[in-house]
Chains A and B, each alone.
Chain A
Amino acid sequence: MRLLAVCDLSKRFGGLAAVDGVSFDVHEGTIKAVIGPNGAGKSTLFNLITGFDRPDVGSVDLLGCNIVGMNPHKVVRAGISRTFQNTQLFEELTALDNVLVGMHTQLRTGFLGGALRLPWTLTEERRARERASYLLRLVGVEQYVMTPAADIPHGMRRLLEIARALAAAPRLLLLDEPAAGLNNRETQSLARTLYRIRDEGVTIVVVEHDMGLVMEVSEEIVVLDRGRKIAEGPPLLIQKDAAVIEAYLGEEGEYV
């Protein structure tokens, strides 16, 4: 089933076309990768899909509903969660609290219920903590439950941000360079984590420079170069695609 349909999406910054007429579909239950040289427009694409930036033209449909122009916090409610290229954790909060904030849209306690500690608030709170602990285990950062995010090692911080994004119970998860700064072993474990997340029914789109990871996990790849989509297809075809090789050779040859 088609979960997300990006159609003719474009965004200019001054004279620069950061994203230029990009279209693609994401099918439910798959892992899709978006790759491209530095400055290709990958992060901007994510910002356009999640409402952090507004496209000049084009549409983004989630299950048939156009979500362009929606406030980013509403996009989360609509079912799309994301992580950032520069992790945006709540540094002073523990890993558990970070994930509990991620559950914001899933919980209902308001100011009154919170201040009065009503019985159902406590029930909700207990369930939330159980779910948060589960998510921390799912991504493998359970040993840091009570550690402030600021004190968690780099690789684990990226995983924690994924757990926080999952906490909103998204249908679609957008990950912006989750393997950046991870060592080989951590990247291997990230691949397994992505499979586990997909098997829980969450569709994933991942922006990534680590080609090993991209080729391993993704069923389909979209290649951007200078804002335009230059190729789309399964990993084996993308590896042989002349335009893709050209784009990467123009930049840094060792990628593909």
Chain B
Amino acid sequence: MRWTRRRLGITLLGVMGIAIAAVPFLTDDRYLLKVLTFVGVNAIVVAGLALLFGYAGQISLGHAAFFGLGAYMSAYLTTTHQTPWLLAVLAGTGIAAAGGLLLALPSLRLKGHYLAMATLGFNEIMSVLFVELRGITGGNNGLSGIPFPSIGSFVIDTPAGIYLLVWGVAALAFLGAANLVRTRPGRAMRALHGSELGAVASGVDTTRLKVQVFALSAALAGLAGALYAHAVGFISPTQFSLEFSILLVAMVVVGGTGSLVGPFFAAVVLTLLQYVHALIPGLGNDVASVIQDWEVDISGMVMILTVIFLPGGFAALVRRKRIGVAVDGETV
């Protein structure tokens, strides 16, 4: 058997999966596990955004709002109505999907900048609602005392348990997305991105497809938000601001279009940047606080530099390097 690109890729992914799964068995540093859990949460959102932006070519600056919708829905149901966790998370996912559908139906007729503006506006409106709907969201104080994930009497209340739960979901999200892009719906997304005329001429209902991908990515954001709420136990409106939406888009842009692995690594790096002081012990406090204060700006800069000097993101860089080295691998 040849050591093809595909087998190499699968092997690397396997090693990475084992490494991620092994973390809680190697450390019991609660803070580190919590930070890495946030990485997993962001990765779930990025799986959806990579499909929407990186594959289907549709921009969204509103995904923090879908994340917030999922978080508030699940938090509200579990804290005030004692809804079972699983049901509440599903409801959070569902309401984000529904929100995505409602936003997508009118706005996906818009292109480029206009779609960006529509989703940006949506994020701002939701930010206001998260504050103003005090009865549900707790206003500026947010919601606290959100219970741990549980199914029946089985409660996941350790950092390690929550870490594994979130990363399990993240793994499924990426696996599903990876399968999707290699079958009919995923090919149609990439076609849409390449030539909308060509996609239509191939019989693809492009409007319907855009709405579907948008709703799917909103659902994943909602799911991540719900998981996040139960992982931290406290949520407040500032966590779901436009800044977070931009950070999420930066992850996909930097990671690369038409790729899942690229955005995944970008999500890891750009999330960890926020917690750099805790992760690199030797780092001076002043340096750490500068990085923290400028997190969004740094991500923004990296995004701009990527767009200018590395269109297609890091994934494109890796692909370019490979040309001439291995054209085999993929089999028909």
Contacts and interface: CB of A to CB of B under 8 A. Distances in A.
Interface of A: 50, 52, 71-73, 76-77, 81-84, 88-93, 96-97, 100-102, 104-105, 107-111, 113-117, 121, 125, 129, 133, 145-146, 164-165, 167-168
A168 B202 contact: yes
17 contacts: A73-B203, A81-B201, A83-B201, A88-B198, A90-B193, A96-B332, A101-B190, A101-B204, A105-B202, A109-B184, A109-B185, A114-B182, A133-B332, A164-B198, A165-B201, A167-B202, A168-B203
Contacts of B197: 52, 84, 88
B188 interface: yes
Interface stretch (B34-42, B59-67, B173-181, B221-229): B173-181
A97 B190 contact: yes
B201 A50 contact: yes
Given A72-B201, A116-B176, A164-B202, A146 B194 contact: no
Contact of B184 (A73, A91, A96, A107): A107
Contacts of B179: 114-117
B99 interface: no
B201 A104 contact: no
Nearest to A128: B184
Interface of B: 176-177, 179-180, 182-188, 190-191, 193-195, 197-206, 212, 216, 258, 327, 330, 332
A89 B201 CA distance: 10
Given A101-B198, A115-B176, 5 more contacts: A76-B202, A90-B190, A104-B184, A113-B183, A114-B185
A165 B202 CA distance: 7
A109 B201 contact: no
Contact of A76 (B176, B190, B201, B216): B201
Nearest to A150: B194
A240 B149 CA distance: 83
A93 B206 contact: no
B205 A73 contact: yes
Contacts of B332: 96, 129, 133, 145-146
Contact of A110 (B185, B187, B198): B185
Contacts of A88: 195, 197-198, 201
A101 B330 contact: no
B228 to A, nearest CB: 22
B258 A101 contact: no
B194 A82 contact: no
A133 to B, nearest CB: 6
Contacts of B190: 90, 92-93, 97, 101
Contacts of A168: 202-203
Counting from the closest, the 9 A-B pairs by CB-CB distance are: A90-B194, A76-B203, A88-B198, A114-B183, A115-B176, A105-B203, A109-B184, A101-B191, A88-B195
Contacts of B183: 109, 113-114, 117, 121, 125
A104 B198 contact: no
A139 to B, nearest CB: 16
Nearest to A50: B201
A92 B330 CA distance: 15
Nearest to A78: B203
Nearest to A170: B203
Given A111-B185, A114-B184, A84 B201 contact: yes
Contact of A111 (B182, B193, B212): B212
Contacts of A109: 183-185
Given A121-B183, A146-B330, A104 B203 contact: yes
B200 A146 contact: no
Nearest to A90: B194
Contacts of B186: 114
A174 to B, nearest CB: 10
